[in-house]
Structures are given as C-alpha cells and as structure tokens.
Amino acid sequence: MGARIAIAGGGPTGLMMGRLLAKDGHTVEVFEAAHEIGGLCRSMDVDGYTMDLAGGHIMFTRDQRVSDFWDELYADGEVCTHERQTRILHQPNHFVSYPFENALGELPLEHNLDCTEGTIRARLERDRIPEPDNFADWIRWKMGDGVAKHFMEPYNRKIWKADLREMNTKWIAGRVPDAPFEDVLRASLGDTTEGYTHQSVFRYPLRGGFADIHDRIAEPIRDSIRLNHRVEAIERAPDGRTWLVDGQPFDHVISTVPLQHLPKILVGMDAAAADAARRMQFRGVACYLLGIEEDLVEPYSWVYLPHDSMGPTNRITYLSNYSPENAPTGKGSILAEVTYNPDTPPSAGADGQRLVAEGLQSAGLLEADRVQVSHGVLNPVSYILYDLDFEAKRNTILDHLDGLEGFHAIGRFGRYEYHNSDQCLARAFGLHERLAPILEAGGGDDRYAVEGPPGETGR
Ligand SMILES: Cc1cc2nc3c(=O)[nH]c(=O)nc-3n(C[C@H](O)[C@H](O)[C@H](O)COP(=O)(O)OP(=O)(O)OC[C@H]3O[C@@H](n4cnc5c(N)ncnc54)[C@H](O)[C@@H]3O)c2cc1C
C-alpha cells in the first residue's frame, strides 16, 4: 500500500516531488493556490507573444542528473539551445560585456581607470582587512571603489531595494561573479575575458515559454493537481502521527509554501519559529512584456540596466531571441523586470507599463511609441533578501520544521534557498531519495533535513 502525500504548492519543486512519488506508487495530491501550475516559472500568451511571468528564465544547470532529466523530458527535440549573450548597459547606447570586471577595457577611459585603480588597491589591502560581513563593505573590500561606484552599488541598490549595509554576504558565492585579479587586469588593458562560463550555453523550450518544462513534469500527475486550492490549515491528526491538510488525511506533507506564510497555516507552530518566519524578508518582481518590431531587438539574451537614469527596470530579456515561437513573425519582444519591496508595489497597469517604456527609451533601448503590445504582472514573492539575521532566523524555523515527523519543507521559499529551478529539481531528487526507503518501509521516524550536495547553498 502506498502512502498518501499532500504537496502544498504546484511550482517546479512541488510538481517534481509529485512526479517522483507518484511513480513509486504513492497517492499524491498537489494543492496549488493559483489557477495554474508552475509558480514563478509560469508563462502566458499576450496577443501572440509569450511572456514568462516572473522574468527571463533559462535552462542551465551544473547538476548532471537534472541535465539528463531535461534531456529525457525534451527527447522530442522541442527545445532551443543558445550561447549566452549578456550585456550591461553602461550608458545610453553603450553596452559592455558581463561580468563587469571582465570588461573594464570596454568602459570610457576615466571609468576604466577608476575601476582598475580601485581593483589594485583593494587587492593590495584585502589581506590586511578582515572580510566584511555586510554587502556594502564587502563590495568595496572585494572589488574596489571604482567597480563599486560604476556598477555594483547602483545595480545592487536597484535590484534589492534595500540598504546594502543591511544585507549579509553568505549568499554571494556562486551568485556574484568572482573574476580572478589577473583577468580583471587583462580586461582593463582591453582583453575582454570570459566570466561566469557555466552559463555560457543555455536551453529554452521551443513552445509555450519556460512553463513548458513544468507542464511536461506535471503530465503524469495531472489528475492529482488541485488548482485554485490555497492550503489554509496543516495540522496533526488526532493519532499524533499523520496529518490533516484542510481537513483531509495524509501520511506526509511536503510544503513549498513560503516560510513567512506558515505561521498562519501550520497549526501549533513553535512560537519562536513562527516569529522568525514572519520576519523573513523578500522582494517582488514586476514584469512587463513589450511587443515590438523586430528591428528593435538587439542580438542579446539579456541586458542589465544598473543606473536609475535608465528608468525603473533592472534587467531586460529579449525573449523573442529565446525561441522563434515567442513572438509573431516579424515581431520581437522585451521582458522588463522591476524588483520591488512588497510594501510598495509598482503599477502593473498602464502607468507602470508607460514608466518602464519611457525608461527604456531614455536608455536608448526602445522607441516607446513603437510598442505594439504591453502587459504587466506582479510577483510579490520572488527574491530572498539576505538580511543580517537571515541565518539565525532561518535556522530557528528549520530546526523546528525539520523536527516534525512527516512534514518536509522544501523549495525556493519553502526553505529560503536562493535556488533556480534546476536546483529545486535537484533538491526534489534528493528528498525523494531519502523519503523513498522510509515510505517503502511504511513510515517510521523520518527526521531529515533537505540537505543538498556539498558546496550548494544550504544550512
Ligand atoms: C527574476 C527571476 C529570474 C529567475 N531566473 C531563473 C532562470 O533563469 N532559471 C531557473 O531555472 N530559475 C530561475 N529563477 C528561479 C525559479 O523561478 C525558482 O527557482 C522556482 O520557480 C522555484 O520553484 P518552487 O516550486 O520552489 O517555488 P515557486 O515557483 O514559488 O512555486 C511555489 C508555488 O506554491 C504555491 N503556493 C504558495 N502558497 C500556497 C498555499 N498556501 N497553498 C497552495 N499553494 C501555494 C504558489 O502559488 C506557487 O505556485 C528565477 C526567479 C526569478 C524571480
């Protein structure tokens, strides 16, 4: 007899868990609050243009198992492969390569001098000064004043909508490109070096936008997905061992619900853990799809817009470059991302769309009166904000949750791990591997954290 397993959340993590457990013969039920599956990886059609709702998403991974799984999922070949072409818009109409430190020679001479001198000074002083634990000081300690001034500070202030002194540095490894000193010097002399090479080739579904991956993952469990069902109560059943999810009995619960929402849902949550969960900080991303004429499309995958003078957008993706199916023939598309503090959401409507288009026009990326279609979407829970007491809060919450037999917290916000969807799939493989023998044996004590392979973001 298989186990009955409730999965709260039908994003990549929940869907993958459902697929793996259903394949083992267990009865799964995936509860999804929205009217469709996919979470942050959803896509929609806007008058013939494909829009990825939570910003530009690409398929890339360092995890062989995930890569093999994607191969299997796309054995029909319905996937596009691209070389990453990313740029930073340094000034209107002046693109430089990404990462910034690998492209100093492409900057105006004065800016190159600032950055190169700062890099050298920082390198000479670094061994004398202990590594700072706040992001603002870390930037200057690691990269020097010039890179801080011309890119890192304006860009990070724009994306995080936070005081960088109030952010920690634990999340940086693998997230902020770390160019070797020699590469930076070479770059400043005009030899642009390549950085962040693990992302240099990526894939993207041919049809249906990024959501297609998760539609395919969900295919075998379609009948087990309950849409428009926001889980409101998870509690121990009277037997003290199994669980009730909105009154329905289950042996196990897998929760991808953002931790900050759990105090309202998880009955009897430990008070300290609930308090910490309420204080977890996050940021939203407003996304705007702009349908444009093909001649306005640059030959890039995505472009960073670090400066406020370029409008509210922090990054654009030329989504029509990802798949020929993403825009009607002869047309192209831009997907603009504007991060926000959830307390002060921007307009997703006409006002917000106009502001974004005008900003892109001032940056030289658009002729606003040639935008043919535009659409905006708010995604309130999109980025984890790594504030100074992040680790302490998270540990308090997870120590409690991981001690609950039969309850498993997993996912980008279900566990507050800065994971892309590939890492979410990797975590799902990992949890499944640990759960499978326990479920096979018919239950038992299963206290295990969702630890990943060494070297990944984890506790
Ligand atoms: C701007 C941006 C760019 C990104 N780029 C990439 C990229 O290039 N490549 C990549 O692989 N990844 C990328 N990601 C990351 C990717 O979006 C996430 O890793 C992934 O979506 C996380 O999956 P998840 O299932 O853990 O969470 P989510 O996708 O957040 O899904 C959680 C689901 O749970 C549901 N839910 C929440 N509460 C409840 C409840 N109480 N009851 C029922 N359902 C509930 C939500 O509606 C949602 O559907 C990007 C993310 C952002 C924000």
CATH number of the domain at 306, please. 3.90.660.20
- 3-state SS class at 266: strand
What is the pLDDT, as a whole number, of residue 200? 86
Do 288 and 368 have their domain in common? yes
The span from the CA of 48 to the CA of 52, in Å, is: 13
| Nearest atom (ligand 1) to Cα of 12 | 25
Distance from Cα 182 to the centre of ligand 1, integer Å: 37
Give the range among 188-197, 198-207, 403-412 with minimum mean pLDDT.
188-197
pTM (global) more than 0.85: yes
Residue nearest to atom 53 of ligand 1 (CA): 382
> What tens digit of pLDDT does each residue of 278-330 get?
999 999 999 999 999 999 999 999 999 999 999 999 999 999 999 999 999 99
Residue whose Cα lies nearest atom 48 of ligand 1: it is 39
**Class of residue 74 by CB neighbours under 10 A (exposed 0-12, middle 13-18, buried 19+):** middle
What local confidence, expressed as pLDDT, does residue 178 receive? 76
Closest atom of ligand 1 to CA, residue 287:
1
Q: Whose CA is nearest to atom 8 of ligand 1?
A: 57
Q: Per-residue pLDDT tens for 120-135?
A: 999 999 889 999 999 9
Establish if 393 belongs to a structural domain.
yes
Count the neighbouring beta carbons within 10 Å of the beta carbon of residue 26: 20
187 C-alpha vs ligand 1 centroid, how far in Å?
36
Overall average pLDDT of the 351-373 stretch:
95
**Confidence check: pLDDT of 444 > 50:** no
Share of the chain above pLDDT 90, in %: 87
Ligand 1, closest atom to CA 339?
Answer: 1
User: What sign does the dihedral 320-322-325-329 (CA atoms) show?
Assistant: positive
**Around 193, how many Cα atoms within 13 Å sit in the side-chain half-sphere?**
18
pLDDT at 23 over 90: yes
Q: Are residues 344 and 298 in the same domain?
A: yes
**What is the number of domains present in the chain?**
3
Q: What spacing in Å lies between the alpha carbon of 12 and ligand 1's midpoint?
A: 7
Residues 288 and 342 in one domain: yes
Residue ranges making up the domain that contains 115: 102-188
Residues with C-beta less than 6 Å from any ligand 1 atom = 8-14, 31-34, 39-41, 54-55, 57-58, 230-231, 256-257, 261, 265, 285, 337, 382-383, 411-414, 419-422, 424
Q: What would the pLDDT profile of 248-263 be if each residue is shown by its tens digit?
A: 999 999 999 999 999 9
Minimum-distance ligand 1 atom for the alpha carbon of 422: 11
Please check whether residue 220 lies inside any domain of the structure: no
Structure tokens at 163: 């005081």
Q: What is the CATH number of the domain that holds 162?
A: 1.10.3110
68, pLDDT greater than 80: yes
Shared domain check, 295 and 336 = yes
Pair (121, 171) in one structural domain: yes
- Res. 176: pLDDT tops 80: no
410 Cα–ligand 1 center, Å? 11
Residue 307 domain-assigned?
Answer: yes
Structure tokens at 410: 């997993």
Instruction: Find residue 80's DSSP bridge partners.
Output: 204
Q: Distance from CA of residue 162 to its chain's centroid?
A: 18
Confidence class for position 222, pLDDT limits 50, 70, 90? very high
**Which pLDDT does position 248 carry in this prediction?**
98
pLDDT classification of 192: cutoffs 50, 70, 90: confident
Whether the Cβ atoms of residue 167 and residue 160 lie closer than 8 Å to each other: yes
Q: Which of 44, 171, 256, 417 to mutate to test the pocket of ligand 1 (most atoms within 8 A of CB)?
A: 256
Name the residue with higher pLDDT: 192 or 109.
109
Question: What is the model's pLDDT at position 457?
Answer: 33
Checking 193-199 for CB contacts under 8 A at 24+ apart, the result is: 193/102, 194/102, 195/98, 195/99, 195/101, 195/102, 196/98, 196/99, 198/60, 198/62, 199/58, 199/60, 199/84
Domain assignment present for residue 200? The answer is yes
Is pLDDT at 349 greater than 80 in this prediction? yes
The alpha carbon of 4 and the centre of ligand 1 are apart by a number of angstroms equal to: 24
pLDDT value, residue 451: 44
Give nearest CA residue, ligand 1 atom 35: 9
**Are 330 and 291 in a shared domain?**
yes
Task: With a cut of 80, say whether residue 198 has pLDDT above it.
Answer: no
When comparing pLDDT for 453 and 144, which is higher? 144
Alpha-carbon gap, residue 158 to 356, rounded angstroms = 14
Percent share of the chain, pLDDT over 70 = 95
In a domain? residue 241: yes
3-class DSSP state of 245: strand
Q: Which amino acid is at 143?
A: M
pLDDT confidence of residue 449:
40
pLDDT of residue 455 exceeding 80, the answer is: no
- Based on the domain organization, do 276 and 287 belong to the same domain? no
Residue with the nearest Cα to atom 45 of ligand 1? 9
Tokens of 369: 């009166």
Question: What is the C-alpha to C-alpha distance for residues 456 and 130, in angstroms, rounded to an integer?
Answer: 24
Same domain? For 267 and 317 the reply is no
Same domain, 313 and 416: no
Is 224 domain-assigned? no
Residues 14-30, mean pLDDT to the nearest whole number: 98
- Per-residue pLDDT, averaged over 143-164, amounts to 97
pLDDT at 458: 30
- Say yes or no to pLDDT of 398 above 60: yes
Residue 10 pLDDT > 90, yes or no? yes
Question: Over 90: is that where the pLDDT of 385 sits?
Answer: yes
The yes-or-no verdict on residue 59 having pLDDT over 90 is yes
Q: How many angstroms does the Cα of residue 363 sit away from the middle of ligand 1? A: 30
- In sequence order, the 6+-apart residues with CB closer than 8 A to the CB of 66 are 422, 425, 426, 429
Atom 4 in ligand 1: residue holding the nearest Cα:
57
Q: Is residue 90 part of a domain?
A: yes
CA–CA dist 407, 213 (Å, integer) = 27
* Residue with CA closest to ligand 1 atom 38: 257
Ligand 1, atom 27, residue with closest C-alpha = 11
Whole-number average pLDDT of the chain: 93
Cα separation of the two ends of the chain: 34
Residue 361 in 3-state DSSP?
Answer: helix
Q: How many residues does the chain have?
A: 459
Same-domain status, 184 and 313: no
Nearest residue to 140 (alpha-carbon basis) of 122, 127, 157: 122
Instruction: Using the predicted structure, report yes or no on whether residue 196 has a pLDDT greater than 70.
Output: no
Question: Do 204 and 305 fall into the same domain?
Answer: yes
Q: Could you identify the residue written with the tokens 């790594």?
A: 386
pLDDT tens string 35-56 = 999 999 999 999 999 999 999 9
**266 and 143 in a common domain:** no
